[in-house]
Every structure is written in structure tokens, then in C-alpha cells.
Amino acid sequence: MNFKKGSSDAIISLMGEGVEIVGEVSFTQGVKIDGVNKGNVKSDASLVVGSKGKVEADVAVRRISIGGEFKGTIHASERVEILKEGKVFGDLYTPCLIIEAGAVFEGKCNMSDRKATKVEEGSLLKVVEPPADGAKAAGNDKS
């Protein structure tokens, strides 16, 4: 990722190899993970999972670039980028998804605006009861 210096995209913190964090992580400037992170990650900045990084988490960030391994759910307000060495197993919620050739992605991606498509859960299902008298359903009568 090409980040501008001084912005919240600038990577100023590094969680190196040999470091494992379990729990909730939050930050205000960009972070790169080359270690292991398990839990929750929340930020309005960017997250980079390096080629040696492993993340098992529910993540809510502005941008994420994955060159290592990720398992969990990602909510990215700007974009998700899976690099050619990256492996992602989980669901993505983002308006922009970039997957390089050679990358692995197993999961679902929702790219719609959740505010614009908000629908009451009850309106998604329609239950159709079979006729009480055992009559054949309309359109299925082949007599």
C-alpha cells in the first residue's frame, strides 16, 4: 500500500515476529502486524498484516492490507486489499475489495452500503403454509 506520510495511513507501529497479543487492540495511526493477534481490532486508521503475520480477529478499520493469514470478520470503511501471498478465511464488509492474483479468499464479501440497504429482518422471510385440506398447490396440478 502506498501511504502518505503524516496521515492515519502511515505505518508508525510494528508488532514484530515472536509477539502474540490476545485481546482487544485499538490504535490511532497505522499498524503492521508480523506477529500473532487474536481477539478484536478497532481503529479509524490502516492495518497491514505482513507476510509473517497471523490474525484471528473481528476487525473494524478504515483500510486493511493482508499479506499473511487472516481468519475472522473484517469491516473496512474504505478498502480491503489481499496481496498475492495473503490468505483470508472469513467475511468482508467493505465498499472496495482488491484481490491480487495468487491470493486466497474463502468467505463472503458484502460491498453494499449497510445504511442504504437496511431492511427489517421480518420482511426478508415469507412463510407459506400448505393448504389445510391437502389440496395440490396452484400450478403443480398435472392431472
Q: Which of 41, 40, 37, 33 is nearest to 15 (CA)?
A: 33
The label of the residue with cell 475489495 reads 97
Check residue 17 and give its pLDDT. 92
pLDDT at 116 exceeding the cut of 50: no
Question: What would the pLDDT profile of 131-142 be if each residue is shown by its tens digit?
Answer: 666 555 455 554
End-to-end CA distance of the chain: 65
pLDDT band with cut points at 50, 70 and 90 for residue 78: very high
Q: What's the predicted TM-score (pTM) here? A: 0.72
Question: What would the pLDDT profile of 11-26 be if each residue is shown by its tens digit?
Answer: 888 899 999 999 999 9
Residue 130 CA to its chain's centroid (Å): 40
Check residue 127 and give its pLDDT. 52
Check residue 117 and give its pLDDT. 37
Which of 12-26, 42-56, 93-107, 121-135 shows the lowest per-residue confidence on average (mean pLDDT)? Answer: 121-135
